[in-house]
Structure 1
Amino acid sequence: MKRILPITLVLFLVYSTAFSQTAPPSDIGTILQNLKKLNVLGSVLYIAAHPDDENTRLLGYLAQEKHYRTGYLSLTRGDGGQNLIGTEQGELLGLIRTQELLAARRTDGAEQFFSRANDFGFSKNPEETLKFWDKDKVLGDMVWVIRRFRPDVMICRFPTTGEGGHGNHTASAILAQEAFTAAADPKRYPEQLKYTTVWQAKRLLWNTFSFGSVNTTSPDQFKINVGGYNPILGKSYGEIAAESRSNHKSQGFGSARQRGDAFEYFKTILGDAPKTDLMDGVDVTWNRTPFGAPIAQKITAITKAFNTEAPQASIPALVALLGDVDQTVATNKAFMTVRLTERANTDYDYWHKQKTKELKDLIASCAGLWFEAYADQPTYAVGDKLPITAQLLTPYKLPISSLTIDPGQEVSSVRDNKNGAVLEPNKLVSINLPSIELHNISQPYWLEAPHGIGSYTLAYDTQAGRPENTNVPTAMFEFVIDGKKLIYSRKVMYKYVDPARGEIYQPLEITPPVTANIAEKVYAFNNTQPQTVQIKLKSFNNASGSISLKPLAGWKISPAKIDYADKKKGDEWTVAFTVSPTDSKTNTAILQAEVTANGKTFSQGLLDIRYNHVPAITIFPPAQAKLVNIDLKTAGKKIGYIAGAGDLIPESLREVGYDVYQLTESEIINGDLSAYDAIVTGVRAYNVNERLAYEQPKLMEYVKNGGNLVVQYNNNNGLVTKNIGPYPFTVVNQRVTEEDANVTFTDAANPVLNYPNKITAADFNDWIQERGLYFADNIDSQYSTPLQMNDTGMAPNKGSLIVTNLGKGRFVYTSLAFFRQLPAGVPGAYRLFVNLLSKPKN
């Protein structure tokens, strides 16, 4: 006889502080895995510095084989790295890598956390890292995550002794050791204890490694075999790891699936050393909680009786089990308060919350319940009313005895609807919910306020750890099954069908009423001639008002403002202002646009990031641009550009008057390259453009005939040809990471330092993030090396810029980080790069 499950459905529309998502997987494999997880009460937290630092095979093994609650705390979002799929840098790259990490966690089954630390670029030592990071704040974030996540075991990817190479790596290990102890100390970060409790993990381990020539493993270390096969998932953990890691597409980390034994090695840093198992000394069964043994027995019985062909048959037992868990809490609360230690009390509360959530999800999966909530448009403005449609489906007959729709605090009244609606088997039910008023733009919380180089500014310290915003429109679904109330949450999403990709879910965009996008990030002037600053405006509701540019000393702006009226949602229009320096003195300023809309002032642009492998990303950066008045002379006009991994150099050159053309293979092989005053290869071009190996002879011929070839930095791994230049040199992983490192001129008479601009030490002021990366080494004597630089305590390095003549032309290889400096409007970098493009006439 088919069991009828009476259900009461209640939907609350709130800005939920709990994480919510669209419908999770409910296939039999997932159900079986989650049944196993119900009987495991253990947790592991992995800690490192960046996206891609995590050991995805170990995470998959811990989460899917051992069924521990497993988390990865990446201190940064990878903002300072290079981007192999586009031109995004800095915080924009961090947004992409955040989503790549979340995709990786959906693959390997772990959870994702972050601190407020900003990846400011490569660092050679932890002292430099901790100088830029706000150590106390970042450490507090780690303590907060530990106290909330309550790991039994903590694992570092890197040691404190520097074998990890990157200063961020070493700093992550140093901070992890301090956090291990601080999380258990009520005197450390006591303000957190209003929301959580202290926590002491059992042990802190270092997951030793063998990377290239660095092998930190040894036979006497504790080890576990993580290369097993999961028959429920139909994959080995090496395969799961490869799928997880391959989500890091912006870093080019597509990985081959591995199968067979694979051992991970560990050294004990703090706490008791494991002897036979990672969790030695930790009870990961229900016995770790008061009165948990009967619950474990019932879970075992439910698992044994589970029918893969009729998962719904397990619902009554799962609902009863959930009642038993709740009843145990109610019955023994007084006993726990009086008789048990605070740790045992809070430990039970913690695992009750975790297992309650897991049980609820299992019940929904076994019931075949599918429910989500949608908006009918992708974009709404602050102040708009958001209409929401909820949809529900079940393969079984589940009558609804009553239906209540409560928009919570967003409206003043509660609307009841008691129509006795019924969820018929396989009949989709759609319910229109009351509209709610929107109050906050959907800006990532870590980008809401200006931030420094080393860390983001958080409005509240309790935001730390979260991978994404939590104050988003959320639907709360309340079911009553067998008399038990079950509440679930789902983000309100926008859903559409793409002809090529199929059904796509997209986060809601909640915007300012009107956005203002200044056409360029940087306006570079080399005289007092005015430039036109175009601003693209877009209205997201009905609006009237004006736009203006804030006055700036040393700059003339005209007109003072431009009015607009009666704009409708979706209207776009462009306005133009004239801006010019008032004199020829070097001057740098931030230009800011201000828009009034219906009596309120806004100063935000609109920026979309779209890649198929991550959800749509929309942010609202300040409506700003940089004005730079540079004492700049130029020679030549026409530049050929060969694209690399992605940079903004062509746009930057156009700003100072160059005509830049993207060269195709056909144009390089068959065209007349003598028409170009210089040809430039983009960053990592010799890593990502395999055709350059075949085009190289043509480029060398161009140089011999009088051309000027400028090659920007390449990674030393994966070069399509080792013969980048006309004479030998080697690209090596050497860099100068201190952006203010002293620069010495070793060949002051070299034309690249004198024509058409006289380069002085002042031209190396105000550089950002780094001087350069992947320097040249083993440099043939035919090359001149006009610059020398080094980080503090390091040997001088001449490999940042090498120059040689070949025939009638010139070849330049530079590892200087022009791809960062020019888009940032650094005057001296412009002057030097223009010199590299300008070969003196013979």
Structure 2
Amino acid sequence: MGISIIFFTDIAWLGIIEGIKFTPLLHHKMKLIFLVCNFLLCSSLALGQTSVQLSSSEIKLGIEKLAVTGSVLYIAAHPDDENTRLLSYLATERKVRTGYLSLTRGDGGQNLIGTEQAEELGLIRTQELLAARSIDGAEQFFTRANDFGFSKTSEETFKIWNRDSILSDVVWVIRNFRPDVIITRFPPDARAGHGHHSASAILAIEAFKAAADPAAFPEQLSYVKPWKSHRILWNTFNFGGNNTTSEDQLKINVGQYNTLLGQSYGEIASESRSQHKSQGFGVAKQRGESFEYFELLAGQPAKKDLLDGREANWVAGPNGAAIAKLVTEINREYRIEAPEKSVPALLRLYELISGVQDEMLKKLKMAEVADLILATSGTWFEVYASEPAYSITDSIPLRVQAISRYQDGAAVVPFISGKSEQKLSLSYNRMESLEGSVKASRLSQPYWLEHAHPIGEYKISNRKDIGMAESAAPLVIRIDLHIQGQKISYSRPAVYKFTDPVRGEVYRKLEVTPPVVVALQSSRLLYTGDEARPLEVKLKSFSRAAKGDLRLKLPSGWTSSPKSLPYEMTSKGEERMFRFTVKPGQSALSGQLTAELNAGGSTWSKAMSSIQYDHIPTTTWFPEAAMNLVRLQAKKAGNKIGYIPGAGDLIPESLKQLGYEVVMLNAGSLDNVDLSSFDAIVAGIRLYNVSPAIKYINDKLLKYVENGGVLLVQYNVSQPLMLNDIGPYPFSITRNRVTEEDATVNILNPAHRIFNYPNKITARDFDGWVQERGLYFGGSIDPRYQSLLSMRDTGEAENTGALFVADYGKGRFVYTGLSFFRQLPAGVPGAYRLFVNLISH
């Protein structure tokens, strides 16, 4: 047996099927794994692993899957919309190729585990979806649609999404994936409960028809062919008090128990769904029979089964019968205690499938067989870099490790890098390695974040990227396995691997960076006058040597001193701090500052942001090194603010920019804190949902108000609440919200102190708000509170629950559903002015 290893920095050689570059299906650890790495990029293994090994029972499931050729595509709007129990059942019980198309990456949602919002929240939720898919066995796809926040109707959604381009993406995924059956999570009407939800069903129905029509999106036909699915169904539901199921609908029991995995599909699904940690969607394991219901939306009716009318096995083509017979033989003769006995038959099957005329089916099934050959022969290989990050200008040293537990003589591993070749012999069960170096051709940047984008959709320059869960790895190594006279090609992404004393072996995606990255001290600078403000800019080098000039690109009317500064970095990892002062002219307006430098013969203006949580791989991206310059006519009263963090937001940093002293308080240790020293105390978003300690210290907070303090409580959701009596008087929390960020806001009592001290608040202060006005407004509000604002979305009644206050003792209690957590980081001047008034006594 021989292994040939070739280093590639480009993916053109992969022979991608008619434009497909989808993330492979990977079932991590105790689940079924079907790596399609010999023609698709292995860029998304759970926690970064690239060569997950299969147990004998998992190999058995993989062999059984070889007999099945059907496919099902599930479509909804967001991460966490998918039915993980159904996906697990389809992928592992029915063994059909199963995919989930989420129109968005969930960028507009809330974050329960950190302060990331917008694009960075989308990065987290993308990885959570991939972690979920690695458990339930489905593949993951996306369109270019941007989650701009809650939408009440599909009509509102399509005002922001470009309906034609998002429809084109859904058609593109269908024509590439070629599903026999399409399933939507939601209906195309108001029962969906969210404008994105109903829009996803509307687009799925339209795409079901358009994908089969050669006249629809004909520009795609240079890469793919029209595809006609048998049917599109709605997976009806019974949750949230809305039961859309009926016994006259198609009904399927998905609660079976898989003896090879030792779990039911309800148990697998709970693990999958619990990966949506940023949304707080951990769920208990479900056991026993469970039914899913389906209503026909278009296409051929199904009476008994989702795949009625579709022969989901090897029946067509010149080799179909022979393949089916050989798969049956391999399955029958497979020995769970001696998987290697199946290698010769799998090699015959690989050769037989290579003659299949259907190119898509051929390459998918050859990939499945190829990975079963690795698994049954005990062959394993991975590729590592010695450091986690390298500059795009430098050569990257790599090491390939390989081992074989198949007793078929020594393995020879030629390594080719440029014109050199090394040969390495492998002995049975002995790890061997070889080294080389390559250069990357592009940054490890998420493809959908390469360009600035409008509110409704990402700008994607390469059509073939559409649908992909994430970017292909920046360095991919081809590995040729020679076994019993046959050659099988695989690919592996180069990764970084290290040993953590607590977590053990940890994988990280290899980062290909700019030569030098920029870190600005904040995401914004606030100016309440014409004063100059200092700005610190930190440079970090990822190159062995870099030098050039650093300067600030400023909007009209702004100046920096100095205009530029020279820099020179002489070693990788070196960091240096540079200081500028930035001053607005009298007529200067708010705008954006960008730090720009020249390095390696190019101009760069990239920052570097790494997102690290234990449940997902470390994710690094390179946003523009930019910050907002905000002209703000605002006065402040008071100085010392106590802030009790909730689910995570960036408001403390925003208050510091205004000159407040902000003290972060721990809800669990407030008993020992003298609250009287604070001019105001602010409760972070969803504090009463996420902090069990709040029910023990809320009385102390209300006593602080009674003694003369100001307590500002930001939005919470109704379930779960750690206590119901948040304020001094009763009120409830509803699901009411105003999603139109330009909705008219009426000030109900302009004479109220909150609208006059220390800043005069008018309707103009609600100009320029982003994403929404507010969410989870108050309801059933006790008359001892005073509602201060009313607002509504188009076609709805006025709502007065966005902001209400009560004088209590000598102090003031404030509750607000206004989305300050979005407005302040975005630098919205009126939101700052109003927030200051709310915390001023």
Say whether the fold is shared (TM-score over 0.5).
Answer: yes
Cα 1:8/1:371, change in 2 over 3 Å: closer
Deviations 1:389-421 (A, max 9, x none): 1110112334457543334xxxxx43333x4x4
**Residue correspondence of structure 1 range 367-406 to structure 2 within 5 A:** 367-399=377-409, 403-406=413-416
1:561 matched to 2:556? The reply is: no
**Residue correspondence of structure 1 range 683-698 to structure 2 within 5 A:** 683-698=685-700
- Alpha-carbon distance, 1:546 to partner: 1.7
Secondary structure of the residue that 1:287 maps to in structure 2?
Answer: coil
1:19 matched to 2:41? The reply is: yes
Amino acid at match of 2:182: M
* Separation of aligned partners in 2, 1:291 and 1:396: 29
What's the counterpart of residue 342 of structure 1? Answer: none
Secondary structure of the residue that 1:634 maps to in structure 2?
Answer: coil
Question: Residues 134 and 454 of structure 1 are in contact (CA less than 8 Å); yes or no, is this contact kept in structure 2?
Answer: yes
* Separation of aligned partners in 2, 1:353 and 1:661: 59
1:748 to 737, 742, 750: 750
Aligned residues: 807
1:157 to 182, 185, 193: 185
Secondary structure of the residue that 2:643 maps to in structure 1?
Answer: strand
- Alpha-carbon distance, 1:475 to partner: 1.0
Deviations 1:788-833 (A, max 9, x none): 0000001100000001100110000000000000000000000000
* Separation of aligned partners in 2, 1:586 and 1:644: 36
- Alpha-carbon distance, 1:755 to partner: 0.8
What's the counterpart of residue 638 of structure 1? Answer: 640
* Separation of aligned partners in 2, 1:710 and 1:232: 54
Comparing 13-22 and 158-167, the one that deviates more: 13-22
Deviations 1:581-627 (A, max 9, x none): 222x6821101111122443210111111111110111111010000
Question: Residues 80 and 122 of structure 1 are in contact (CA less than 8 Å); yes or no, is this contact kept in structure 2?
Answer: yes
* Separation of aligned partners in 1, 2:629 and 2:370: 56
Secondary structure of the residue that 2:475 maps to in structure 1?
Answer: strand
What's the counterpart of residue 48 of structure 1? Answer: 76
Question: Residues 188 and 199 of structure 2 are in contact (CA less than 8 Å); yes or no, is this contact kept in structure 1?
Answer: yes
Cα 1:626/1:225, change in 2 over 3 Å: same
Question: Residues 399 and 422 of structure 1 are in contact (CA less than 8 Å); yes or no, is this contact kept in structure 2?
Answer: no
2:266 to 223, 238, 243: 238
Cα 1:666/1:416, change in 2 over 3 Å: closer
Deviations 1:350-401 (A, max 9, x none): 2111111111111111000010111111110011101111110112334457
Amino acid at match of 2:649: D
- Alpha-carbon distance, 1:746 to partner: 1.1
1:495 to 480, 494, 497: 497
- Alpha-carbon distance, 1:481 to partner: 1.4
Secondary structure of the residue that 2:73 maps to in structure 1?
Answer: strand
**Residue correspondence of structure 1 range 503-652 to structure 2 within 5 A:** 503-541=505-543, 542-583=545-586, 587-652=589-654
Amino acid at match of 2:110: Q
* Separation of aligned partners in 2, 1:668 and 1:107: 41
What's the counterpart of residue 333 of structure 1? Answer: none
Uncovered stretches (5+) of structure 2, i.e. residues with no partner: 13-39, 44-49
What's the counterpart of residue 416 of structure 1? Answer: 421
* Separation of aligned partners in 2, 1:564 and 1:263: 65
- Alpha-carbon distance, 1:565 to partner: 2.0
- Alpha-carbon distance, 1:208 to partner: 0.2
* Separation of aligned partners in 1, 2:663 and 2:672: 16
Deviations 1:198-229 (A, max 9, x none): 10000000000011211100111111000010
- Alpha-carbon distance, 1:671 to partner: 2.5
Question: What TM-score does the superposition give when structure 2 sets the normalisation length?
Answer: 0.94
Deviations 1:228-274 (A, max 9, x none): 10000000000000000011111111110000010000000001111
Question: Residues 398 and 423 of structure 1 are in contact (CA less than 8 Å); yes or no, is this contact kept in structure 2?
Answer: no
- Alpha-carbon distance, 1:462 to partner: 2.1
Uncovered stretches (5+) of structure 1, i.e. residues with no partner: 1-5, 330-344, 408-412
* Separation of aligned partners in 2, 1:115 and 1:564: 41
What's the counterpart of residue 448 of structure 1? Answer: 450
1:202 matched to 2:224? The reply is: no
* Separation of aligned partners in 1, 2:569 and 2:729: 65
Amino acid at match of 2:414: T
Question: Residues 559 and 584 of structure 2 are in contact (CA less than 8 Å); yes or no, is this contact kept in structure 1?
Answer: yes
Amino acid at match of 2:285: R
Question: Residues 694 and 722 of structure 2 are in contact (CA less than 8 Å); yes or no, is this contact kept in structure 1?
Answer: yes
Question: Residues 587 and 630 of structure 1 are in contact (CA less than 8 Å); yes or no, is this contact kept in structure 2?
Answer: no
Question: Residues 380 and 509 of structure 1 are in contact (CA less than 8 Å); yes or no, is this contact kept in structure 2?
Answer: yes
Cα 1:666/1:774, change in 2 over 3 Å: closer
* Separation of aligned partners in 1, 2:170 and 2:410: 45
Question: Residues 404 and 415 of structure 1 are in contact (CA less than 8 Å); yes or no, is this contact kept in structure 2?
Answer: no
* Separation of aligned partners in 1, 2:765 and 2:546: 46
Secondary structure of the residue that 2:87 maps to in structure 1?
Answer: helix
Secondary structure of the residue that 2:430 maps to in structure 1?
Answer: coil
Question: Residues 16 and 472 of structure 1 are in contact (CA less than 8 Å); yes or no, is this contact kept in structure 2?
Answer: no
Comparing 543-552 and 181-190, the one that deviates more: 543-552
- Alpha-carbon distance, 1:471 to partner: 5.2
* Separation of aligned partners in 2, 1:40 and 1:93: 37
Question: Residues 376 and 387 of structure 1 are in contact (CA less than 8 Å); yes or no, is this contact kept in structure 2?
Answer: yes
* Separation of aligned partners in 1, 2:124 and 2:200: 22
What's the counterpart of residue 838 of structure 1? Answer: 840
Cα 1:426/1:140, change in 2 over 3 Å: same
1:64 matched to 2:92? The reply is: yes
- Alpha-carbon distance, 1:166 to partner: 0.8
* Separation of aligned partners in 2, 1:546 and 1:399: 59
What's the counterpart of residue 129 of structure 2? Answer: 101
- Alpha-carbon distance, 1:143 to partner: 0.6
Deviations 1:49-105 (A, max 9, x none): 000000000000000000000000000001000000000000000000100000100
Secondary structure of the residue that 2:351 maps to in structure 1?
Answer: helix
Question: Residues 403 and 416 of structure 1 are in contact (CA less than 8 Å); yes or no, is this contact kept in structure 2?
Answer: no
* Separation of aligned partners in 2, 1:378 and 1:641: 36
Question: Residues 48 and 173 of structure 1 are in contact (CA less than 8 Å); yes or no, is this contact kept in structure 2?
Answer: yes
Comparing 18-27 and 165-174, the one that deviates more: 18-27
- Alpha-carbon distance, 1:19 to partner: 1.5
- Alpha-carbon distance, 1:750 to partner: 1.2
What's the counterpart of residue 658 of structure 1? Answer: 660
> Percent identity of the aligned residues?
51
1:76 matched to 2:104? The reply is: yes
* Separation of aligned partners in 2, 1:290 and 1:185: 28
What's the counterpart of residue 219 of structure 2? Answer: 191
Question: Residues 645 and 685 of structure 1 are in contact (CA less than 8 Å); yes or no, is this contact kept in structure 2?
Answer: yes
- Alpha-carbon distance, 1:580 to partner: 2.1
Question: Residues 554 and 582 of structure 1 are in contact (CA less than 8 Å); yes or no, is this contact kept in structure 2?
Answer: yes
Deviations 1:434-468 (A, max 9, x none): x2122311110000000011110001222111011
Question: Residues 691 and 722 of structure 2 are in contact (CA less than 8 Å); yes or no, is this contact kept in structure 1?
Answer: yes
1:128 to 144, 151, 156: 156
Secondary structure of the residue that 2:487 maps to in structure 1?
Answer: strand
1:427 matched to 2:427? The reply is: no
Question: Residues 678 and 837 of structure 1 are in contact (CA less than 8 Å); yes or no, is this contact kept in structure 2?
Answer: yes
2:292 to 246, 264, 284: 264
Secondary structure of the residue that 2:402 maps to in structure 1?
Answer: strand
- Alpha-carbon distance, 1:535 to partner: 0.9
Secondary structure of the residue that 1:610 maps to in structure 2?
Answer: strand
Cα 1:566/1:745, change in 2 over 3 Å: closer
Deviations 1:10-46 (A, max 9, x none): 4242322631251033211210111010000100000
Secondary structure of the residue that 1:253 maps to in structure 2?
Answer: coil
Alignment root-mean-square deviation, CA: 1.3
Question: Residues 105 and 147 of structure 2 are in contact (CA less than 8 Å); yes or no, is this contact kept in structure 1?
Answer: yes
* Separation of aligned partners in 1, 2:725 and 2:384: 56
Question: Residues 605 and 623 of structure 1 are in contact (CA less than 8 Å); yes or no, is this contact kept in structure 2?
Answer: yes
* Separation of aligned partners in 2, 1:625 and 1:431: 45
